[in-house]
Amino acid sequence: MNIGIIGSGFIGGTLARLLSTAGHTVRVSNSRGPHTIDPDVLSTGAIAVTKEEALVGADVVILSIPFVRIPDLKALLEGLPEDSVIIDTSNYIPARDDRLDAIENGQPDSVWASEQIGRPLAKAWNTIYSASLNEAGRPGGDPERIAVPVAADRDHDRVVTMALVEDSGFDAYYAGSLAESWKQQCGTPCYCTEVTLESLPQALADADLARSRKRQDLFFSVYNERFGNIGTNPSRNYIVQLSKLIYA
């Protein structure tokens, strides 16, 4: 499958490696140009390109950029074929991003993102911490394999996205439509808590939107006091344990 990735940071860069290893043709880009992409991102065969080149012939486009920058991609994405699969991996994080009234008032973040670009989206890999994505992939059938919820409105988007999640080393679980994707947003029980396929359905069922907002603010209050600014990537154990304590 031909995959274009926009964003070469902790999530986008790791997905470039994992999906190339799985045999996909991956082109990865960022906002600074191909020459700035870390060689490690390209170590399993991904190709560094411009954002425009990442979309050429792409069956799938993965968005892994700061959430508030997604509207900037509308013009870039509008030329894609209608059946192209666009996957959003990002999260609305008010402690880092601008506060958006629509989301503050309850609109699921990926519904907002889909409206901004005028295209259907699937949502995946947003619930897994970047260090977990990098370190914790396991073969299918492993009872300790971490599960990743997938939200999508179109069947084609769901099927393709779930297959890619499996290829990246994690169990895919269909969590419902984009309208239901608030259950996998930051602050919910499945967010960065490394749930398994057995426990993910209950974690989604336990999600509470109002409570998740408060828990998200509490998490980042602790994070900012400890690390000073968002952008520092603490250890996997620190983030997962703090997430379990606050979100689960």
Amino acid identity of residue 68, one-letter, is: V
Biggest alpha carbon distance in the chain?
A: 45
Q: Look at residues 2, 80, 6, 63 and name the one whose alpha carbon lies nearest to residue 37.
A: 6
> Whole-model pTM?
0.96
**Distance in angstroms (rounded) separating the CA atoms of residues 91 and 185:** 7
* Cα 49 to the center of its chain, rounded Å: 21
**Distance in angstroms (rounded) separating the CA atoms of residues 128 and 119:** 24
Q: How many Cβ atoms sit within 10 Å of the Cβ of residue 22?
A: 17
**Which pLDDT does position 97 carry in this prediction?**
78
Would you call 88 helix, strand, or coil by DSSP? strand
**pLDDT digit string (tens) for the chain, length 248 residues:** 999 999 999 999 999 999 999 999 999 999 999 999 999 999 999 999 999 999 999 999 999 999 999 999 999 999 899 999 999 999 999 888 788 999 999 999 999 999 999 999 999 999 999 999 999 999 999 999 999 999 999 999 999 999 999 999 999 999 999 999 999 999 999 999 999 999 999 999 999 999 999 999 999 999 988 887 666 788 999 999 999 999 98
**Distance in angstroms (rounded) separating the CA atoms of residues 191 and 102:** 21
Instruction: State the DSSP H helix or E strand holding residue 112, giving kind and residue range, or none if neither.
Output: helix 109-117
Do 247 and 191 contact (CB within 8 A), yes or no? yes
**Which pLDDT does position 209 carry in this prediction?**
93
Measured between alpha carbons, how far is residue 52 from residues 37, 88, 146 in Å?
15, 18, 33
**Which pLDDT does position 120 carry in this prediction?**
97
Would you call 153 helix, strand, or coil by DSSP? coil
Measured between alpha carbons, how far is residue 27 from residues 24, 81, 99, 183 in Å?
10, 18, 32, 31
**Which pLDDT does position 198 carry in this prediction?**
96
**Which pLDDT does position 224 carry in this prediction?**
87
CA pseudo-torsion sign 220, 222, 228, 234: negative
